[in-house]
Chains A and B, each alone.
Chain A
């Protein structure tokens, strides 16, 4: 047991926890005024709901050592998950420190999907969807990639901090839900604009801050690898933000705050799978290019196909996540992390195909499972709010509260 490592991982868990409220503000600023509480509430309730799911059975399903679809039931209710290290996951910190760090990942992942169906999902349906999705999509995929006996892990797929498990997974779920739930009302006459851009910037700042815990913390020790992850994370975020601002400037005439914030998040998403395997030059390339791909997804592909991914959860997280996972197969180097692998540019083209395979598996599974869960929830409670509730806004129709007063 190492006290430095333990302190670092606990602190990292706290940083990652803050990302969910950060995401709440990031998304909350983007929606219309009448829906901001709906988004904040969805994020905060996920923090409550999945914290409990995780200690009761989510952690066991994800990480209990067993080959198969799930990790199994050996660690239900944290039975056997104590204060001594569990060497196969993290040899120098208490097992519960690893557990609670992972809990924060399980919480933010379903929260990311909110961006796709924002402003039109019933709260009861959301609760059920989040619980089922975490249990039947996040937990198994997490097990495949990170758990002992996980088959993608055994195949050699690299995912340092959650490119496939978190971002592609949530991004595909976002696409499926956005398409199936359908467009928001009145979109053609009245394009919704973000109601509070400073909230978007606040959320971006909190996400960037929290992402140090997400990526550096994934080293699970206060060591050189954690520092590498910290540095490349900061570099890729910076490159992503700068690059999106430039693309905006060239293509739309002005560099926008919204674009810069989106680029920063895209950079953070893209560096996530490779943070512990790539060096800082590669991080620059990953960050600069991700904004180009996400910009095309958000600005060209989305309007062309006409799906209403309200806040671009697919366009940023899935596209950025796929680029990040594939880029890990290109740029990974054993000089950064001897426990990792070399990528295509370091003489090992095989790694690229392993990454590609892991991406495809995640895409296909998340697509099918999300669709099934959506249909089930729709059958039980009905997913979409009725037209009047949608027009009045989720704040008043789902929570009977308003975010802002006009005259006291």
Chain B
């Protein structure tokens, strides 16, 4: 079992969601986050004063998958989120020790799907 954390451009969320659905991945958790990588990003202007904060808005996806779903999930995120420009984001893949479905108490692979 893996836990995938993907950081993507906010405006790509809809496309990534559609790609994930196509790949048969329906469970995701989404949050709005701030962060920065190498990109400079869009500067915002408030009444003429340039705001040069280097934290940019990103969307963070958390997706728990069984091992055989890792590759399709990665491909779906790449397909939906990639523009080829800096700022497209990252995917982190972590080993996941356990998963418990609260409603039934099931654990392990069964609890993911």
Task: Give me the interface of A with B, judged by CB distance under 8 Å.
Answer: 185-186, 189-190, 388, 391-393, 396, 400-402, 406-407
Contact = CB atoms under 8 A, between A and B. Distances in A.
A406 B18 contact: no
Contact of B46 (A388, A393, A401, A407): A401
B44 A402 contact: yes
Contacts of A401: 44-46
Contacts of A189: 14, 17-18
A198 B68 CA distance: 46
Contacts of A407: 34, 55
Contacts of A388: 11
Nearest to A190: B14
B102 interface: no
Interface string B34-64: 1000000011111000000001010000000
B14 A396 contact: no
A400 B18 contact: no
Nearest to A406: B32
Contacts of A190: 14
Nearest to A393: B11
B32 A392 contact: no
Contacts of B18: 189
B14 A186 contact: yes
A335 to B, nearest CB: 55
Given A406-B32, A406-B34, A406-B57, A400 B42 contact: yes
Nearest to B83: A388
Contact of A400 (B10, B12, B34, B44): B44
A192 to B, nearest CB: 11
Contacts of B34: 406-407
A406 B18 CA distance: 26
B84 to A, nearest CB: 13
Contacts, number: 29
Contact of A392 (B11, B33, B45): B11
The 9 closest A-B pairs by CB, nearest first: A391-B11, A392-B11, A186-B14, A400-B45, A407-B34, A400-B44, A401-B44, A406-B32, A190-B14
A407 B43 CA distance: 16
B43 A400 contact: yes
Contacts of B42: 396, 400
Nearest to B53: A408
Nearest to B9: A392
A369 B14 CA distance: 37
B96 to A, nearest CB: 27
Nearest to B14: A186
18 contacts: A186-B14, A189-B17, A189-B18, A190-B14, A388-B11, A391-B12, A392-B10, A392-B11, A396-B42, A400-B42, A400-B43, A400-B44, A400-B45, A401-B44, A401-B46, A402-B44, A406-B33, A407-B34
Contacts of B17: 189
Contacts of A402: 44
Contacts of A393: 11
A388 B85 CA distance: 13
Given A189-B14, A189-B17, A406-B57, 16 more contacts: A186-B14, A189-B18, A190-B14, A388-B11, A391-B11, A391-B12, A391-B14, A392-B10, A392-B11, A393-B11, A396-B42, A400-B42, A400-B43, A400-B45, A406-B32, A406-B34
Contacts of A391: 11-12, 14
Nearest to A389: B11
A177 to B, nearest CB: 24
A391 B18 CA distance: 15
Interface in B1-29: 10-12, 14, 17-18
Contacts of B55: 407
A388 to B, nearest CB: 7
Contacts of A406: 32-34, 57
A183 to B, nearest CB: 14
A393 B12 CA distance: 12
A189 B33 CA distance: 23
A396 B51 CA distance: 13
B40 to A, nearest CB: 14
Contacts of B57: 406
A402 B46 CA distance: 9
Nearest to B18: A189
A167 to B, nearest CB: 35
